[in-house]
Each structure stands twice: as structure tokens, then as C-alpha cells.
Amino acid sequence: MDYLPLFFDLKTKPCLVVGGGTIATRKARLLAKAGACISVVAPDAQDELAQLVKSSGGQLHTQDYSSALIGQSVLVISATDIESVNRQVSEDCHARQIPVNVVDSPALCSVITPAIVDRSPLIIAASSGGESPVLARRVRTQLESTFPASYGRLAKFASRFRDAVKSRFSDGEQRRRFWESVLGGTIAEQVLAGSESEAEIALQKRITAGDVADRGEVYLVGAGPGDPDLLTFKALRLMQQAEVVLYDRLVSEPILEMVRRDADRIYVGKRRSEHTMPQEQINQLLLRLAQEGKRVLRLKGGDPFIFGRGGEEIDLLAAHQIPFQVVPGITAASGCSAYAGIPLTHRDYSSSVRFITGHLKNGEVNFDWQEFVADHQTLVFYMGLVGLEQICTKMIEFGKPADTPVALVERGTLPTQVVHTGTLASMPMKVKNTEIHAPTLLIIGGVVALHKSLGWFKR
């Protein structure tokens, strides 16, 4: 380990910044966040930097650097573009044993500033020891996506109950298990979701009862159309803390790999005419696992409330007073159309869009077809591959022009995505003569014509 990570309390303490440009201003912002009293020495300073000095109670010295200005500083940052000045600042600080950071010059530093994820009072710092600042910033970006902004609120919430928990659980191991259960369970989720008053009541009850274990909960999470980069922060967080995962066939393998490693996985997928587990049995399984005290993730392709039968699953949970959370996902219509370069609405082509299930019932697709043939609308059929021929035929029969553009998006948003285009008249024969793999999405309307100009780029 080249450096020992430490966190300094700089509240009201004098800190000196040498330099008045953009980088100096950036460093001063960090010091201001930490509550430092900032002084700056530079012949000329940016307006924002001067304001930071004033608001912190420090002094602005519009002159060249002089070692006398170090004074009682507890930290000095040199951020000039003059190498001789930076070197002199470093030497002066080392002679006085004052921590010094010289921007982009690790050899002149006694301390370095890391890339910071600020979830105060939770602070996360990443550093490459000055070897690769860009890499450290990339790590910070990844951490930003892992820890939501509300983690700071959770840390403050937990701190209010430390003394009460310590009094209730004299054994250190019990306290550890209690806090692990709280911070990884329902109470923490309530705080993160903004229901802090409910969380406070629940935590008080658990402290009073001396209850170390948490109760079960279900997370109904939309996994989106396939590309793991389309997951929400909240979805990823819940995926990482679930103990049991029920997933369907529309959940891509890269997304499944992001689930907590030691979680039990149960496949409950469905194919046409092949139900691995009937929906009623899935509902009962969710209920049973939650009643056993498990944190259960129901991971569904797309959005759980758009042709995902999510409403049926939470009906049973609500009836048995099982806590649950619903996390929306990017539905296939939105994700696949965007990746195909087909806007679902466009001022010149479509002012409305319909989402329609293309599932056959008794071998037929039964709709009020007259509603579908109106101009200036986009129709999106989910799971429409099997019924495609009937859909196209009926649309033409009820008056939709035979040359209306049609797109069939195959494995949308994945690296293997293929977009097949044609018209209501030509698409059935095109599909018959082409090997196509589910999942697919059928888009009908004038907006499909834009695929040629908007869908060319590589991802």
C-alpha cells in the first residue's frame, strides 16, 4: 500500500490554496464542502474562487507566492501551472511538516486528494496514488452508480439509534447482526424510499423486542429489455441484496450475472405453450419465501406492470401484508425502438402510441381492429411473432394501407439485435423465409420509415 487513506476534519481550520485558476477553484470547492477556512494566494483569482474565500472566512492575497503566507495552515494545495512555484511550495511545507498536495505532481506531495463519492456522512474515496487519476475517476463513477444519494440519509438515520441499540444489545456480535439485518433489510429500504417515519417506528419496535432478524420482503424488479446498462440504480441495489431470485426467460444472462452471487436462483420462465411454473404457483412461491423471512427478488424482463403480470403477484402479497417494492424497468417498446432508431412518436408521423399484447388465444388474435387503422399512431405488439401474419392481414382488411411500414425487432438492445423491416403486405412472407429468434417486438406505423436514417449507428 503506497498511501494510508485518512479522513481529515477541516471544519473552520485554515487551509491555503496557491493558484487562482480553474484547478485551484476546483480544489477550493472540496475544501469548502469540508468546512475549511480557505485562503488563496495568486496574482489573479477567478470570481468563484474569490467568493469561496470570502464565504469561508479566509483571505485572498493578490500577489505572488511567499512562504510567509503558509502561516498556521493545516493543509496547503498548490495548483499553479508554474513548476518552480509548485516545487517551492512543496519544499516549504515539507520543511514545516505541513501536509501538502501539488496537483498532478505526486513526487512533490505528502498527501494526495482522491476521487470522492460524497454521501455525507458516508464518504467513499478512491485513489490510484497519482499514477492514473482518470482511472480513479472511473472507479468513482462506478461507485456513484452503486451507492444512491439517499445513503447519506440512511447513515444519519442509523446514527440516531446507536445508543439505543447499544443499550439493548450488550453483546457486540448481536449488535453487529442486528445492524446488518437493519441496513440490508426492509427498514433501510423504507429510509432510502423516503418513508423515514415508518422506518423509525419499525426500528423502535425491533429494538424494544430485541429482534435481531428481519422479516421477509419481495422486490418486483423490471430488468429492462436485455442490455444491463439500462438497469436503474435501485434495481441494481435490490438485486445485490436479495437472498432468493425468481427470474424469467426474458432476463438476459449479463443481467442475471449482476445478481448477488450467493443468492438462490429459481427459473420460472415461460415459453409459448410451455410454462415451467404456472403463474399461480409463482405467486404462492413468492408468498411462502417471504413468510419464511427471505428477501425475495422477482426479476422480470421489461417492466413488471406492462404485460408482466406484476399486478397479480403483488395482489397476493398485499392480501397477506407482505412488504414489497416495485421497481419499474425500461419496457421493450421503449428500449427496442430506441436502439433500432425508431422513435415511437414523431410530429410528422405519429401523435400517439399503443402497447398491445400479441399473444394468441385459441389460435386467434381478437382485437377491435378498427381502432388500429387510424392515421398518425404507432402500434407496438409485444410477443407478436407467432400472430404476425394474422395481425398484418387484419390490419389491411380493416383499411390500413398495405404499404404501411413495419419493423420486427429481434433480441432488442442486445449485441445480437436484428431489425427486420418491410410493409404490412411484405412482412409475413419475409418472416417465413427468415430464421428469427425470440424475443421479438413488432412495430407498425410511419415512424418505422425513420429506421433507415436513424438506425445506422453502431453501439
Report the catalytic residues.
Answer: 248, 270
- CA–CA separation, 246 and 253 (whole Å): 14
3-class SS of residue 385: coil
Q: How far is the C-alpha of 298 from the C-alpha of 310, rounded, in Å?
A: 9
C-alpha dist (Å) from residue 76 to 16, 49, 91, 387: 5, 15, 12, 71
Which of 142, 292, 317 has its CA nearest to residue 213?
292
Question: Distance between CA 87 and CA 82 in Å, rounded?
Answer: 9
* Neighbour tally for 434: CB within 10 Å: 11
Binding-site members for S-adenosyl-L-methionine are: 225, 301-303, 306, 331-332, 383, 412
Q: Which residues are annotated as a binding site for NAD(+)?
A: 22-23, 43-44
**CA 302, CA 225: separation in Å to the nearest integer?**
5
3-state secondary structure of 310: helix
Q: Where are the alpha helices (DSSP H) in 292-415?
A: 310-319, 332-339, 388-397
Beta pairing partners, 296: 218, 244
Q: Is the C-alpha dihedral spanning 288, 291, 293, 295 positive or negative?
A: positive
Please report how many Cα atoms fall inside a 13 Å half-sphere around the Cα of residue 6, on the Cβ side: 10
Q: How many CB atoms lie within 10 A of CB 34?
A: 18
List CB contacts of 326: < 8 A, sequence separation 6 or more: 220, 304, 305, 310, 314
For 122, phi then psi, to 5°, come to: -85, 120
Q: Which of 148, 164, 270, 169 is nearest to 212 (CA)?
A: 169
What residue numbers does the annotated binding site cover?
Answer: 22-23, 43-44, 225, 301-303, 306, 331-332, 383, 412
Task: Give the Cα separation of 234 and 236 in Å (integer).
Answer: 5
CA-closest candidate to residue 367, choices 358, 380, 376: 358
8 Å CB contact between 53 and 59: yes
The amino acid at 30: L
Place of cell 420460472: 268
List strands edge to edge, sheet with 217-222.
264-267, 244-247, 295-300, 217-222, 324-327
